[in-house]
Amino acid sequence: MNEKIYNYNVFAKYNESRIDKFLQSHSDKTSRTKIQNLIREGFVKLNDKTIKEVSKKIKTNDKIRIIFPPPKETHIRPQKIPLNILYDDNDIVIINKPPGIVVHPGAGNHDRTLVNALLFHYNKKLSSIGGKLRPGIVHRIDKDTSGIIVVAKNDIAHNNLSKQFSSHTIKRTYEALVWGSLKPKSGKINERIGRNIKNRQLMSVRKNTGKVAITNYKTLEIFQNSNLPKISLIECKLETGRTHQIRVHMSFKGNPILGDKSYGKSKEKFKKIDEKVEKQIKNFNRQALHAKSLGFIHPKNNKEFFFEAKKPKDFETLVKTLKKASF
């Protein structure tokens, strides 16, 4: 397949628009993320000059050229990886993903992903909208986050579920262990989230330039004694679904998630801590975050569905240890 080239002249109504937004608005089937990647990779020219600034402002009569290179050959092999399937019908699959598994192949993760497992168990019975790298994948949770995921078996189901996610009607609940105790014990965090300026692979609260992000939380239990730093078990309900949303919001609030290597710089110190608890916390080699439940309207029969996923053994064991050590 050959590359595709598109040329545009900028009309007055687009004066001072961002170039990535302009190109996305003229490419219905291409996401803004894809457009931004093409800009960064040098496939966009503004007035015959290659640009790599995704937020570059354009002016009336500017000339823009975008090149869509031919797709790279990709082959994702099916792999016999066990799946914890909570529900399965002709349109959707509900899976309780264990920690340590990436949802789909990407840089540094070419196999042993959830997609590799899905291809083995369902072969060609998955939606094609995500392309060869993401068959059936409607949404993601982080590699080291455990919990519930819905997978689409056909394109109609995929489009329907995607609209529910984008309109924020999906009901998502998480449980997490965080350092300290939240004040107030229940509340709403409404802080915009965007890319971290210093590290583009991470997110951060960006009050003026970030996307709206809303997390409702409540404290379920607080663990503490004279030999134990204060740790809280909390429940979070998402009104939006930004990348790393709960992890960023908890860190911003001063209560980072236990075990979070990216956002979890805790001020808590291991002073006079119970040795067994200290060992278990230090050996808990991931963020203590679990996608507990998912509620949505079934894409075919329009019935309301609700699923819950049990916490993995390492999470449950840590909670039990904290309970025993607490007053």
HEC string of the chain equals CCCEEEEEECCHHHCCCEHHHHHHHCCCCCCHHHHHHHHHCCCEEECCEECCCCCCECCCCCEEEEEECCCCCCCCCCCCCCCCEEEECCCEEEEEECCCCCCCCECCECCCCHHHHHHHHHCCCCCCCCCCCCCCECCCCCCCCEEEEEEECCHHHHHHHHHHHHCCCCEEEEEEEEECCCCCCEEEEECCEEECCCCCCCEEECCCCCECCEEEEEEEEEEEECCEEEEEEEEEEECCCCCCHHHHHHHHHCCCECCCCCCCCCCCCCCCCCHHHHHHHHHCCCCCEEEEEEEEECCCCCCEEEEECCCCHHHHHHHHHHHHHCC
Whether 142 sits among the annotated catalytic residues: the reply is yes
> Using CA atoms, how far apart are residues 99 and 133, in angstroms rounded to an integer?
20
> Using CA atoms, how far apart are residues 113 and 232, in angstroms rounded to an integer?
31
> Using CA atoms, how far apart are residues 296 and 53, in angstroms rounded to an integer?
38
Cα–Cα nearest to 5, from 56, 32, 43: 43
> Using CA atoms, how far apart are residues 293 and 49, in angstroms rounded to an integer?
49
Instruction: Answer whether 181's CB lies under 8 Å from 259's CB.
Output: no
Q: Of the residues 91, 142, 260, 274, which is catalytic?
A: 142
Which residues are identified as catalytic? 142
